[in-house]
Structure formats: structure tokens, C-alpha cells
Homo-oligomer: A and B are copies of this chain.
Amino acid sequence: MHSCFELQNILHTEIPLTRQIGIQVEHCENDRIVLTAPIEPNTNHKCTAFGGSLYSVAVLTGWSMLHHHMQQQQLDGHIVIQHSEVDYKLPVDGKIIAECVMDTPEILDKFLKTYKRKGRARINLQVNIVFENTIAMTLKGQYVVHQ
């Protein structure tokens, strides 16, 4: 929980729009990061979640997974999104819940080792927005970390 609080503070301090979106860090574990946001500040013309808000929460969930692991290994670096592919499958008309599950720790390990060796590394992460137990949006993001 301490780690959740720290991560949320970092997001709210470094990316002020996350406060307007209302991003909360709900889970922050090695194998699973969950970021959420209330629907109210993020509605669109159809009173469902605005696609840009869904994207913002999702892209930061992947960012948070990398930030969390880098912090655990006391690594500094800039984490940036380089490429993303997004599929909107269903409208979200309630709380925005974005989940990134690390089910390939060997790929993460390789990524961290490459970063330590070269000062630059790249990794693909998938983030799902889940609404009523169904995947409402997927983001496949290619992130780059550099010194």
C-alpha cells in the first residue's frame, strides 16, 4: 500500500493532468498494477468515458509497471511511450479500471538487464481497461527507457 501511495504521488506531481482525470493507484505489486479513475471528470458526448481519458489511464498503467520495477532495482531513467495500438471494444459507463499484468517476468528481467548494460531498453506491455468483468479496451504499448 505504501508503494501505491508513493506511485500516486509521483503521478499527481509529475503529470498534473492525472489529478484532473482523478487517477488513483489501486494495486501496485510486482506482477500487477491497477490504476483507476472516476467516470465523472472523464465523460464524453455519449456520457461514457472519453477515449482520451481511457488512453491516458491505460498508458500510465504500463508506465507505472516499469517505474515500479525500476524503483525496486534502484534504477533511474526516463520511461516514454514510443508506439501504441488501441482497440476500443465496448463503451465504459462507470469507473475506469486499467490493469497491467506481468505474466512474462523473464521478458521484464531481460529488459532490466539490457537497460543496466546499455542505458537504453525497449519493452512491449499490454494494458486492459476492464468494465463489468469484460475487456472494454486494450492498449499494446511499446515503451522505451533511457538515461
Contact = CB atoms under 8 A, between A and B. Distances in A.
B51 A52 contact: no
Contact of A87 (B44, B83, B86): B83
A68 to B, nearest CB: 14
Given A15-B50, A83-B88, 11 more contacts: A15-B52, A16-B41, A17-B20, A17-B21, A45-B78, A46-B78, A50-B56, A51-B80, A52-B55, A80-B88, A83-B87
A57 B17 CA distance: 13
Total identical chains: 2
A129 interface: no
Contacts of A55: 52, 55-56, 59
A84 interface: yes
A95 B28 CA distance: 33
A84 B81 CA distance: 15
A14 to B, nearest CB: 4
A25 to B, nearest CB: 15
Interface in A1-56: 10, 14-17, 20-21, 41-46, 50-53, 55-56
B20 A43 contact: no
Contacts of A145: none
A60 interface: yes
Contacts of A46: 78, 80
